[in-house]
Amino acid sequence: MYAGQCLCGEVKVQIVGSITDIIHCHCHCSLCRKNSGTAFATNGFVQSNAFTILTGESLLTTFSFKPGRHRHFCSRCGSPIYSSNEQDPSRIRVRLGLLDSDIIERPLSHNFVTSKANWEDLDANLPRYQAFEPSRS
Q: Which tens digit of pLDDT belongs to each residue from 110-120?
A: 777 787 777 77
| Of 101 and 133, the one with more pLDDT | 101
Domain 2-119 in CATH 3.40.630.30: no
What is the reported pLDDT for 42? 81
Partners of 94 in the β-ladder: 44, 82
For the entire predicted model, the pTM comes to 0.81
- Provide CB contacts within 8 A for 105, sequence distance 6+: 18, 19, 20, 22, 44
Closest CA to 95 of 60, 122, 112, 71: 71
HSE, CB side, 13 Å, CA atoms: give it for residue 117: 15
- Provide CB contacts within 8 A for 126, sequence distance 6+: none
What is the reported pLDDT for 26? 46
- Chain centroid offset of residue 67 CA: 20
At residue 25, does pLDDT exceed 70? Answer: no
At residue 57, does pLDDT exceed 70? Answer: yes
